[in-house]
Amino acid sequence: MNRETRFWTVMFLGGCLFLAFQSLGTARGVGQQFVVRVDATTGKIIPPATGASDASSAVKTVIYEPASKDDPEAIWSFSRTAGIWIAALLTLCIFSYLYRDNVCYKLAESIIVGVSAGYWIVTNFWEVLVAKVLVKLAPNVARYSFLPDTPVDVKADYLYIVPVVLGCMVFCRLIPKIAWMGRWPLAFVVGTTAGLKLTSFLDADFVRQVRSTILPLVVFSANASDVSTLDWKQSIQNIVIVISVLSCVTYFYFSVEHKGLVGRISRVGIWVLMISFGASFALTVMGRITLLTMRLQFLFDDWLGLVRI
Amino acid sequence: MSKTVPVLIASIVGCIMIVANFSPFLLPARQIAEDWFTIVATIAMMLGGANLCVHHLKNISDREAGWGFSAVTLISFFITIAVGLLKIGVVPESEQQVKFAWSGPFQQEGSGFWWIYQYLFSPIVSTMFALLAFYVASAAFRAFRAKNLEAILLLITALIVLVGQTRDREITSLFLPPPAEGMPQHVPIADLTEFIRKTFVTAGQRAIMIGIALGVVATSLRILLGLDRSYLGGDE
């Protein structure tokens, strides 16, 4: 056993001993989760079952809501406790990448690839294929199976067979002889996106941005006695915005060589962009640190229960 | 033929989308096309799932390096799909819906799919993003050198905005002595951050957005006019 293996073995055993102590030696335990049983139809809390004749066994639609351990009606939840443990171990697996690429990290990575693919397929199945396609093509089937709130007077709209057929044509790409048919749905998606984005980008990201840049360079504001005075703060702000946008746009204008006056203006544009990137970098770092803090809070509070408030 | 029809489809649908923006008579057509787009894109996502399965099954059958991880991916994929589609742990939410066993929302709290999101999906994704904090800091430490004016501007702005967002954002200056009697006070870091955000960041982002918008418009027009056919791939 080399020195490195010995170090990590000692660390692992130390961690296990600490977890064992926390689990058995403290009142809060490690990752213990408690819930109350609630009747989904009435919203009333169901007291913990006391025997076979208990009235709560007659309730068919029970949901579980998180509760404090001290709540007299709270019961220990195996699934949520196991969930906290699994989430904590997976978090540590991901953090282990900071040391180097290893089996634990790859395991967590493989899990997330499978889970995220499955997650989006399931979400789209219920939100699009059932909520849009099934409701449009067979509203009665939708009402009697998954969506009882579907209005009774909804008529079937068989025009929606077209996108289903188009969608199924995507799978033609898997058969080389008819792979060319797979281009039709792709063309539909690309055409729709191009048409939608052309107008929306032109409106939101071009016209509105240009309009927002056309600002008064000298701003006067009325004070309490209704006398208008120079609002130098707002004026400076507007001047800086207008000059900055114009210089940045000049920098992005490549049809003219950046020499002389154009070169000097585009240089100011680079400075503005650098300041903008510096601020964006700082905001990104802060966002990531906030996420990191939340993960550490999860580990030390939700899982280990070390945080005392 | 194999490329003409798709180009026609893209042009016609795209033009309907554009004209509908200006004509109220075509608004229902636009709404229908948007719905169709969502449906086609959703079914295309299923193709993505099928590709994932084929790729990882091939890895397993060829016993390629790391095939065990492919098995883990497939198992987690199928478990997620089964739990989500079968609505395991979902219960009807109202008195009227009790007789419809599958009527509850698939993401209901306490259900199997909720559990997968809450304890697998969410922690791993947020930890992966949190991990970037270390790499961004490490990359910044290695790459940020105040070599020229541009780099100095970037560094100073980053420092000001970072400090401006901490709990000490109300401090008046960075290690500067208090101003002399009768002199104006130092600008608080929080105010400076706000000024940078409102002016330089807005201006920089605005210029980039204008550039992106022009790029998107040009690309969209090339697609609608059939000049850009790269999305159709090579000859098959």
Among A97, A124, A294, A299, most B C-beta atoms within 10 A, so best to mutate, is A124
Name the residue among B10, B65, B80, B110 with its Cα closest to residue A120. B80
Q: Please report the pLDDT score of residue B191 as a whole number.
A: 81
Note whether B81 and B95 are same-domain residues: no
* Residue B74 counted as domain residue: yes
Best A128, A161, A192, A206 residue to mutate vs chain B (most B CBs within 10 Å): A192
- The answer to whether the Cβ–Cβ distance between B203 and A65 falls below 8 Å is no
Amino acid (one-letter) located at A124: N
B143 touches chain A (CB under 8 A): no
Instruction: Please report residues of B whose CB lies closer than 8 A to that of A212.
Output: 206
Pairing of strands A34-39, A62-67: antiparallel
> In this complex, do B44 and A167 lie within 8 Å of one another by their Cβ atoms?
yes
Distance to chain A for B206, nearest Cα, Å: 6
Which two structure tokens, joined as six digits, stand for B126? Answer: 């947020």
Task: Report yes or no: A147 at the B interface, CB cutoff 8 Å.
Answer: yes
What is the tally of structural domains in chain B? Answer: 3
Burial of A302 (0-12, 13-18, 19+ CB in 10 A): middle
Report the chain A residue with the minimal C-alpha distance to residue B219. Answer: A194
* Residue A102 contacts B, CB cutoff 8 Å: no
Closest in A108, A199, A272 to B124, CB measured: A108
Distance, CA of A200 to CA of A211 (rounded, Å)? 15
Cα separation, B236 vs B161, in Å, equals: 53
Residue B234 lies in a domain: no
CB contacts of B96 in chain A (<8 Å) are 148
User: How far does Cα B116 stand from its chain's mean position?
Assistant: 21
pLDDT (tens digit, 9 = 90+) per residue, B134-178? 888 888 888 778 888 998 999 999 988 888 877 665 555 555 666
Distances (CA, A) of B76 to A133, B79, B80, B177: 27, 5, 6, 60
**Are B37 and A194 inside 8 Å of each other by CB?**
no
**H runs (alpha helix) in A125-257:** 135-137, 139-145, 161-168, 183-201, 208-213, 232-251
Length of chain A as a residue count: 309
At residue A12, the pLDDT reads 85
Give every CB contact of residue B23 below 8 A, 6+ residues apart in sequence.
none
pLDDT tens profile B88-120 = 988 887 766 777 777 888 888 889 999 999 999
Say whether residue B2 is in contact with chain A using an 8 A CB cutoff. yes
Contact call for residues B190 and A168 (beta carbons, < 8 A): no
Which range of A174-183, B128-137, B198-207 scores highest in mean pLDDT? It is: B198-207
- Using a 10 angstrom Cβ sphere, with 0-12 exposed, 13-18 middle and 19 or more buried, the burial of residue A282 is buried
Q: Write the single-letter amino acid at A19.
A: L
Phi, psi at A45, each rounded to 5°: -75, 135
Facing residue for A191 by CB, picked from B13, B106, B129? B13
Judged by CB atoms closer than 8 Å, whether chains meet at B108 and A179 is answered as no
Tokens representing residue A81 in the block: 């406790």
> A268 with A57: CB under 8 angstroms?
no
Domain boundary, last residue among B96, B117, B143: B143
Task: Indicate whether B192 and B122 sit together in one domain.
Answer: no
Question: Do residues B26 and B57 share a domain?
Answer: yes
Q: Are A136 and A156 in contact (CB under 8 A)?
A: yes
Same domain, B118 and B129: yes
Tell me which chain B residues have a C-beta less than 8 angstroms from the C-beta of A171: 47, 50
Report the half-sphere exposure of B219 (CA within 13 A, side-chain side): 14
B217 near A195, Cβ under 8 Å?
Answer: no
pLDDT in the model for residue B153: 92
- Contact (CB<8Å) B80/A160: no
Residue B61 has a pLDDT of 94
Judge if B67 and B116 occupy the same domain.
Answer: no
Distance CA A95, CA B131 (A): 7
Which chain A residues touch B9 with a CB distance below 8 Å? 184, 187-188, 191
CA dihedral B87, B88, B89, B91 (to 10 degrees): 40
Q: Which residues contact B6 (CB under 8 A, 6 or more apart)?
A: A183, A184, A186, A187, B232
State the Cα–Cα distance between residues A25 and A12, nearest whole angstrom: 19
CB contact under 8 A, A126 and B18: no
Q: CA-CA distances (angstroms) from residue B12 to A164, A167, B51?
A: 19, 18, 30
Residue B154 covered by a domain: yes
CA distance A206 to chain B (A): 5
**Residue B122 and residue B47 share a domain:** no
Nearest C-alpha of chain B: how many angstroms from A279?
5
Q: Check A194 against B21: CB less than 8 A apart.
A: no
Chain B residue numbers with beta carbons less than 8 Å from the beta carbon of A35 are 110
Q: What residues in A contact B127, CB-CB < 8 Å?
A: 90-91, 94-95, 295
| Nearest residue in chain B measured CA to CA from A163 | B36
**Are residues B163 and B102 located together in one domain of the fold?**
no
Within a domain: B235: no
**Is B23 within the bounds of a domain?**
yes
Range of the domain at B157: 144-229
Q: Is residue B99 part of a domain?
A: yes
Between B225 and B172, name the one with better pLDDT.
B225
Interface test with B, best of A105, A196, A203, A236 (most B CBs within 10 A): A196
Supply B51's token pair.
């590709």
Could you say which of B47, B118, B200 has the minimum Cβ distance to residue A83? Answer: B118
Closest to A187 (Cβ–Cβ): which among B7, B66, B199?
B7
Cα distance between residue B91 and residue A62, in whole Å: 7
Task: Please classify residue B172 by burial: count the beta carbons closer than 10 Å to its beta carbon, then call 0-12 exposed, 13-18 middle and 19+ buried.
Answer: middle
| Per-residue pLDDT tens listing for chain A (309 residues) | 788 888 888 888 898 888 888 777 777 778 888 888 888 777 788 887 655 455 555 566 788 888 888 888 888 889 999 999 999 999 999 999 998 889 999 999 999 999 999 999 999 999 999 998 999 999 888 888 888 888 888 888 898 999 999 999 988 888 888 888 888 898 999 999 999 999 999 999 999 999 999 999 998 888 777 778 888 888 999 999 999 999 999 999 988 898 999 999 999 999 999 999 999 999 988 888 999 999 999 998 888 888 765
Domain identity same for B29 and B74: yes
Domain boundary among B51, B69, B85: B85
Residues B164, B99, single domain; the answer is no
The residues, any chain, with a CB within 8 Å of residue B55's CB and separated by 6 or more, are B70
Q: What is the pLDDT of residues B6-50, one digit of tens each?
A: 999 999 999 988 998 888 888 888 888 889 989 999 998 888 999
B236 inside domain:
no
| A194 has a chain B CB within 8 A of its CB | yes
Task: State the nearest Cα–Cα gap between A137 and chain B, in angstroms.
Answer: 13
Among A167, A168, A128, A130, residue whose Cα is nearest residue A148: A130
Instruction: Give the residue among A205, A289, A253, A236 at the shortest CA–CA distance from B200.
Output: A236
Spatial distance between the Cα atoms of B150 and A110, rounded to a whole number of angstroms: 41
Q: Identify residue A257 by its one-letter amino acid code.
A: E
What is the spatial distance between Cα A101 and Cα B119, in angstroms, rounded to a whole number?
23
Q: pLDDT digits over A211-268, tens only?
A: 999 999 998 888 777 778 888 888 999 999 999 999 999 999 988 898 999 999 999 9
ipTM: 0.83
Neighbours of A1 (CB within 10 A): 6
The answer, for A111 touching chain B at a CB cutoff of 8 Å, is: yes
Residue in B32, B198, B220 closest to A194 by CB: B220
pLDDT at site B236 = 47
Q: Of B143, B163, B180, which marks where a domain is finished?
A: B143
Nearest to A199 among B21, B73, B133 (CB): B21
Does B108 contact chain A (CB < 8 Å)? Answer: yes
Q: Rounded distance, CA A36 to CA A68, Å?
A: 9
Residues B180 and B195 in one domain: yes
What integer pLDDT is reported at residue A271 of this predicted model? 95
Q: Does the CB of B202 have a partner CB in chain A at under 8 Å?
A: yes
**Structure-token pair, residue B47:** 């193709």
Residues B2 and B46 in one domain: yes
**B189 and B211, same domain (yes or no):** yes
